[in-house]
Structure 1
């Protein structure tokens, strides 16, 4: 069967891609952020995954507010980076893991999920930025991708428990996939930020640091939070962090936090990452 080799959690702040495109990676403002990802990039090089399952939210680019599915999965052969308003970026298209994607959506239906199935769709910074943070800017991406779109834009958004259950279904799909492919799961979004309303500019660094420290060792704390708790603690846009629970729910109960990083502010956002391994896989 296929093997789940790790879980990655990361921010997907759009200005990260802008900084890379403009050659700002080593400037005083950005170098501490990007340097914090170097251990994770080395982990990826050593782990050699074949497939990256990326859990993210579209930001009004491929889905607008008139039609927002709670859950959608791409089953395409390839995905183009969407033009988010400043022209197409100079990054490669993403090759889709189409066969595994179809297997996954079948497993979702078996487990009482009702995903929207996308045979053709473009992907925005929610997927682009995490891929660049972990894989750099190659001429061709070294992995195939499975994009999972979660609505964290138009309320009501899913519950944290539902995201955890989605991770469990994803783990079943990995373990029933009859290949020797090596799979990583990326939960993306956050950390704390709010871009509108009376709390515009809100960042909660203590809560961010606790999340980075505890998502591996104490996920029940975050699975048991309500959606309102997420908004109050992490901000209206920081509620994206529920998508990390898909990754964490797919992992074993006991994991090792291999790498972690936190930086604030990245634009108006707390930002960071974790790399998790199942203990039996790390032994």
Structure 2
């Protein structure tokens, strides 16, 4: 039986990817941020997951205003890094797991989630930066990846509760897959940040850390945070944190926190990172 063995949450700031690609991770500005991932890189090297279901948002690389899927699952054999305006990141092509992806798509659709099925898609920093943070700069990613893109760019994004319920549906799907696979679910994006307007540069460390607390201590409250609270407290881009709730919902009722890291700033963004495992 396939099983979900852990969940990872992390920010996916594009400047982090640039720092990795340009060899700046040891510079004084960046070193404290990357030090917070040292434990996680060692942990995942020991865990050796077979598949990562990576929840992220596209930044107008695969989708634009012509089509805006709320939840889109990548079922292709592979996904190339996107050119976001300055050339693709120098990272390996992402290898998918079509059998599990199609199984999840079928299971979730029959579970009354209207998933958009994607058979050709390029993936941007929202997906590749988390992989770089956990795996470094390998010649090939050591894990299969199923991209799960969520609309948190254009109103209306899904509610936190809907994201949580999708995570529960993904767990049911994975557990019904006949293959013997170790699966992790990653929720990416956030934390507090705003990139434009009078509040550009907003960071709310107090709210961010309460959110990190709730990921393991008060998950029911997480499900009811309204969109307006994310906007008011964490800026226009803080809504990305609802994607963490897909990961959290997939882990079940109780979790154990294995690692936590919070750092400000990275560019003009707060960076958060958690490693959680389900408690049977």
The question of a shared fold, defined as TM-score above 0.5 by the shorter chain, is answered with yes
TM-score by length of 2: 0.98
Cα distance between partner residues in 2 of 1:118 and 1:182? 23
- Per the alignment, residue 57 of structure 1 pairs with 57
Residue correspondence of structure 1 range 155-174 to structure 2 within 5 A: 155-174=155-174
* Aligned positions, number: 280
- Per the alignment, residue 124 of structure 2 pairs with 124
Q: Aligned pair 1:209/2:205, yes or no? A: no
Cα distance between partner residues in 2 of 1:229 and 1:272? 18
Cα distance between partner residues in 2 of 1:138 and 1:254? 33
- Per the alignment, residue 200 of structure 1 pairs with 200
- Per the alignment, residue 219 of structure 2 pairs with 219
Structure 1 residue 278 displacement after superposition: 1.3
Tell which deviates more after alignment, 214-223 or 254-263.
Answer: 214-223
Q: Aligned pair 1:260/2:273, yes or no? A: no
**Unaligned stretches of 5+ residues in structure 1:** none
Tell which deviates more after alignment, 244-253 or 194-203.
Answer: 194-203
Question: Does the Cα contact within 8 Å between 2:168 and 2:252 map onto a contact in 1?
Answer: no
Question: Does the Cα contact within 8 Å between 1:152 and 1:239 map onto a contact in 2?
Answer: yes
Structure 1 residue 194 displacement after superposition: 0.7
Once the two structures are superposed, residues 48-106 of structure 1 have per-residue CA deviations (whole angstroms, 9 ceiling, x without a partner) of: 10000000000111111232111111000000000111112211101001100000000
Question: Does the Cα contact within 8 Å between 1:212 and 1:262 map onto a contact in 2?
Answer: no
Question: Does the Cα contact within 8 Å between 2:2 and 2:174 map onto a contact in 1?
Answer: yes
Cα distance between partner residues in 1 of 2:129 and 2:146? 15
Cα distance between partner residues in 1 of 2:49 and 2:130? 15
Structure 1 residue 231 displacement after superposition: 1.2
Question: Does the Cα contact within 8 Å between 2:53 and 2:184 map onto a contact in 1?
Answer: yes
Structure 1 residue 23 displacement after superposition: 0.8
The runs of at least 4 aligned residues of structure 1 exceeding 3 Å deviation read: none
Structure 1 residue 16 displacement after superposition: 0.5
**Unaligned stretches of 5+ residues in structure 2:** none
- Per the alignment, residue 77 of structure 2 pairs with 77
Structure 1 residue 135 displacement after superposition: 1.2
Structure 1 residue 207 displacement after superposition: 0.9
Over the aligned positions, Cα root-mean-square deviation in angstroms equals 0.9
